[in-house]
């Protein structure tokens, strides 16, 4: 009887996330959790809701739709993973699942909104979401750089069958 090999990786445990209070949307609650620093959820909630109010007043559009288009525009299709096989580290590009795409885009929007020059965090966040929904801004540039890297590696490392080495 052959022994069954067991994976060393842990399985991902999906937590149940309830929709947020104001907009009744799960993605916004996840985004609030990503914005949150050291357990201060009310501060994170205030930042996100102020940013959405700012978007709603300045653009006269639904902030939830603008947020969802921003997430779609900043979400990457592929991801680079490093695998070690026989002592050699190699980069592999893999397709990403939907939840991973959303979480990456949320993290990138948070990261690049923090680096903006505005005075308050809600303004930084609002302007980054607006820019991402219009397919400009640093989070969308990050996505394009990942895709560019994939296409350059693909052109360089393909064998005769068209597959990556």
pTM: 0.81
The pLDDT of residue 134: 94
pLDDT tens profile 87-146? 788 777 888 888 889 999 999 999 999 999 999 999 999 999 999 999 998 999 988 888
Secondary structure class of 129 (helix, strand, coil): helix
Q: What's the mean pLDDT in 11-40?
A: 91
């Amino acid at each position: 009887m052959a022994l069954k090999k067991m994976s060393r990786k842990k399985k991902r445990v999906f937590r149940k996330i309830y929709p947020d209070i104001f907009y009744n949307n799960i993605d916004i609650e996840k985004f609030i959790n990503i914005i949150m620093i050291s357990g201060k959820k009310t501060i994170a909630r205030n930042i996100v809701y102020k940013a959405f109010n700012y978007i709603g007043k300045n653009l006269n559009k639904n902030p939830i739709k603008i947020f969802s288009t921003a997430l779609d525009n900043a979400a990457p299709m592929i991801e680079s993973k490093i695998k070690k096989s026989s002592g050699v580290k190699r980069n592999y590009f893999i397709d990403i699942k939907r939840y991973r795409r959303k979480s990456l885009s949320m993290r990138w929007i948070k990261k690049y909104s923090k680096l903006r020059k505005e005075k308050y965090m809600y303004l930084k966040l609002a302007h980054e979401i607006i820019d991402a929904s219009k397919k400009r801004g640093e989070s969308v540039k990050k996505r394009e750089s990942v895709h560019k890297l994939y296409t350059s590696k693909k052109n360089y490392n393909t064998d005769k069958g068209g597959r990556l080495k």
